[in-house]
Amino acid sequence: MQYFTDTEKFIDLREVNRAIEAAFADHGRGHVQMPPKIYITLPEGDFRTMPASLPSLSLTGVKVVNVHPGNPARGLPTVMALIIILDIATGMPVAIINATKLTDMRTGAAGAIAAKYLSPKKEIVLGLIGTGRQAEAQYRAISRELEICEIKCWSRNSLHAEKFAREIKDYTARSVPVEKACDCDVLVTTTPSREPVVMNEWVHDGTHINAIGADAPGKQELDPLLLRRGQVFVDDIAQAAHSGEINVPLKRGIFTPEEIAGTIGEVVIGMKRRERPDQITIFDSTGLAIQDLAIAAIAMRKGTVIDLPFP
């Protein structure tokens, strides 16, 4: 068995985008095995187990990932992850991968692919709600698919937003009030909020939204009126209904499963699409185990390897 580390140093974001795009296509065609992720709730956070099989890459395995919002105060990442790859023929563990930074990258790539297919514009003003690690992953991945003219960012802590904007060197970036950040072409939300932070009246027609932060039951970032107003595409219907942006509106009867426009995989393979240029589109991203297998395949080709004999 092998342990892979330092993989993110050798990975090109365009390669990650293409790998995630292919995994979504496999999902859209029904060519994967992937039950919804399982949550274990802990006093200060949770951890999830995410098993999957991706036949197109001859890979099967599981990711274990935590979410502990208080970790930054301890000097730790909010999210940390480990991927275990199994031999398909025998079930023997063949690789363990440090997937903490890979998780950021594959989630950023998911947003980039959604923006590629659903944004009606190829030159965009990008709005960021939340200015943590995932906000950075999103704008970097999206920049490989669309031309970013300007970045407007907002955080509940204005000092964080100002620092984030200053550290962006490749684009014009500025910290703005939340409603101004929503005045954009592509809007990305990456907060841990349990109540809406983006209101319907702040979002203009034709905007594409990547709703990234709602990844557990009870979380939501968007005014439910936005869901009713726009086309909602999910990464996986069962998982999004349980823990995505739509989970709270579904439980409250504000939104129904029949209103889901489709999956991002169906968009990638051309079965579903944006209805018209002035339509609002929303990508409800919960993070799929097949994304982890797709980026694991890249990591296993490029990472630093430590042999760990097993059994």
The answer to whether residue 295 scores a pLDDT higher than 70 is yes
Catalytic site includes residue 169? no
What number is the average pLDDT over the span 87-116?
95
Question: 309: pLDDT confidence band, cut at 50, 70 and 90?
Answer: low
What number is the average pLDDT over the span 204-213?
98
**Residue 125 C-beta-side C-alpha neighbours within 13 Å:** 14
Write down the domain spans for the chain: 2-103+290-307, 108-287
Q: What 3-state class would DSSP assign to 108? A: helix
pLDDT in tens, 120-149: 999 999 999 999 999 999 999 999 999 999
Please, what is the average pLDDT of the chain? 94
Cα separation, 122 vs 162, whole angstroms? 26
Catalytic annotation, pick one of 63, 101, 116, 152: 63
CATH topology of domain 108-287: Rossmann fold (3.40.50)
Cα separation, 146 vs 141, whole angstroms? 9
The answer to whether residue 42 scores a pLDDT higher than 70 is yes
pTM attached to this predicted model: 0.94
Residue with tokens 């990234």: 212
Q: Which of 217, 294, 208, 210 shows the shortest CA–CA distance to 27? A: 294
For domain 2-103+290-307, the CATH architecture is 2-Layer Sandwich (3.30)
pLDDT in tens, 223-237: 999 999 999 999 999
Which helix (H) or strand (E) segment holds residue 24: the answer is: helix 13-28
